[in-house]
A and B are shown apart, each in its own frame.
Chain A
Amino acid sequence: MAETEPRTVVDAREESCPGPITDLAKAYRRSKVGDVIELWATDPGVKADVRAWAAKTQNEVVSIEDQADKVVAVLKIHRR
């Protein structure tokens, strides 16, 4: 992935109800085609949500990684 791609980091760690998907939806609303969204979360359910979201919106999950203190999901926006 080229370093020049605009990347938005969305920090949704330790979020309570309604949770990280709120922040992803907000970031998506502001995004445009070609943007990269990096979502940080501590809620383990976020992995399934991110995959389902990407499938529905026809955007790409570049990676979902378990780190020591968080889950990091990288998404590339193909459709807006």
Chain B
Amino acid sequence: MKRVLIIGGGSGATFLANTLDRRQFETTVVSASVLHMFQPGLLYIAFKNAPAGITRAERRLLPRHVHFVQQDVTHVNLREHRVRTQAGMELTYDEVVLATGVQTAAARIPGLEEVNAQFGDYHSTIEQAQKVWRHLAEVRGGTIVIGQGAAICKCPPSPLEGVLLAEEFLRERGLKSRTKLVYFTPYPRPYAAEGINDIVAPILQARGIEVRTFFDLDRVDTANRTIYSIEGEQIPYDLALIVPPFIGAPITYEPAEVLDEDRLIITDKFSLRVKGVESAFAIGDATNLPTSKAGVGAHLEAKVVAQALAAKPARFDGRTHCPMDLAYGKGTFVIGSYAAPTVKYAPSRLNHWMKAAMARVYWISLRGWLDPLFDVYFRLTAPEKLAARKAHRLRPAA
């Protein structure tokens, strides 16, 4: 029986462990935390004061036959198939799957650590997200700056979701006329992918949100409450909610060349094998794949790896399918793939409802029980199909 070691305790790792056939594989999950967090929930804690119950015990999300080891992995020797933990435990494997995620790295931008510590963020912990809510709830006027601090962002729609939900909150509280909302991004337009930008740019304008594009955050001057860009621009703030840069987990690899400069694992974008070594795959946020860092990606990548481990044909197509909250009860989806550009997907209440429903079905989805449904849904919403349907609708009548 093949011994599969999965390093990580997020959605990709958990789903994969649930998927692997117990008759073929002896599966072990090793994770630093006993808890599993539904990470998209942080957005709603930060901007809607949602309840903090977004974690479950990882052990209970895994089938009984899967071994769960709560240890912090510090060294992975991909040549010798050996893994060492902080507590000195050594694990060996036949095949390893690296699902180690990313972590925030505010220290990479001068002043950002201080700003995130002061006002919170919605990409790390429940406490940090609650801090965002406390500061937002105290706003009586002034300038609120929300934006993306670096080019790589976990959950790419989330910076915009933050500013849209903040606007909804301010309007509901009757604070809109006394508050200026500024959104900044290093990209040439509010959302990098054009299909979705065509949807959100008019919404931002209609809601009176000032947008600063090509604003690549260089530093934060906390004494003068001003952020500066590499391009030489500045924005003063009273409240700054800045999505920090992200880097890979602090694990030492042998060979070290499997990591890029952001400590992301250099992964073949189709086979999901770690470049240059045998018997190693990487999935989810931990990879350097040119696609969105999001739970749905980790899930789809885990399916590909499960196929590959079972010696079946497997190829990842780069599919993204990220829900995006546009506030006021509406949402859209960011749908694309390596081969198909992001689709212009009309906002609707149904899309918003589906995002809200995911928060409820997430835990079941990790068990793989919903995958027959997901498979059909993803086939029906393939970006190529949606684009063809739209082209058909737009064709003038003969």
Contacts and interface: CB of A to CB of B under 8 A. Distances in A.
Interface of A: 12, 14-19, 21-23, 25-26, 28-30, 43, 45, 49, 52-53, 56-58, 79-80
Contacts of A43: 341
Contacts of B292: 16-18
Contacts of A80: 230
Nearest to B291: A16
Contacts of B187: 18, 21-22, 25
Interface of B: 150-153, 156, 186-188, 191-194, 196, 213-214, 216, 230-232, 261, 269, 290-292, 318-320, 334, 336-342
Contacts of B334: 17
B188 A18 contact: no
A80 B230 CA distance: 6
Given A14-B338, A14-B339, A52-B188, A57 B231 contact: yes
Given A21-B187, A25-B187, A52-B188, A15 B214 contact: no
A80 B150 CA distance: 16
Which residue, of A16, A28, A30, A56, has the highest number of chain B Cβ atoms within 10 A?
A16
A25 B188 CA distance: 10
B152 A22 contact: yes
Which residue, of A14, A17, A43, A79, has the highest number of chain B Cβ atoms within 10 A?
A17
Given A17-B342, A23-B151, A56-B214, A12 B290 contact: yes
Contacts of A16: 290-292, 318-320, 336-338, 340-342
Given A16-B320, A18-B153, A22-B192, 11 more contacts: A14-B269, A14-B318, A17-B342, A18-B193, A18-B292, A25-B186, A29-B150, A56-B188, A56-B214, A57-B231, A58-B231
Which residue, of B191, B290, B292, has the highest number of chain A Cβ atoms within 10 A?
B290
A17 B188 contact: no
Which residue, of B153, B194, B340, has the highest number of chain A Cβ atoms within 10 A?
B194
A56 B188 CA distance: 9
A15 B188 contact: no
B35 to A, nearest CB: 30
A79 B269 CA distance: 33
B230 A17 contact: no
Given A15-B290, A16-B337, A16-B338, A25 B194 contact: no
User: Considering the complex of A and B, which 7 residue pairs feature the smallest CB-CB distances, nearest first?
Assistant: A18-B192, A15-B290, A25-B151, A56-B214, A17-B193, A25-B186, A16-B318
Contacts, number: 82
Contacts of A19: 192-193
Given A15-B290, A15-B338, A53-B214, A29 B152 contact: no
Given A22-B151, A25-B216, A29-B230, A17 B339 contact: no
Contact of A18 (B156, B213, B319): B156
B151 A17 contact: no
A26 B342 contact: no
Contact of A29 (B151, B194, B339): B151
14 contacts: A16-B292, A17-B156, A17-B192, A18-B191, A18-B192, A18-B292, A22-B151, A22-B152, A23-B290, A25-B186, A53-B214, A56-B214, A56-B231, A79-B232
B194 A45 contact: yes
A34 B186 CA distance: 21
A18 B156 CA distance: 7
Contacts of B320: 16-17
A53 B213 CA distance: 9
A14 B268 CA distance: 13
A56 B186 CA distance: 11
A74 B224 CA distance: 37
Which residue, of A22, A23, A45, has the highest number of chain B Cβ atoms within 10 A?
A22
A36 B389 CA distance: 42
Nearest to B231: A57
A26 B151 CA distance: 6
Contacts of B193: 17-19
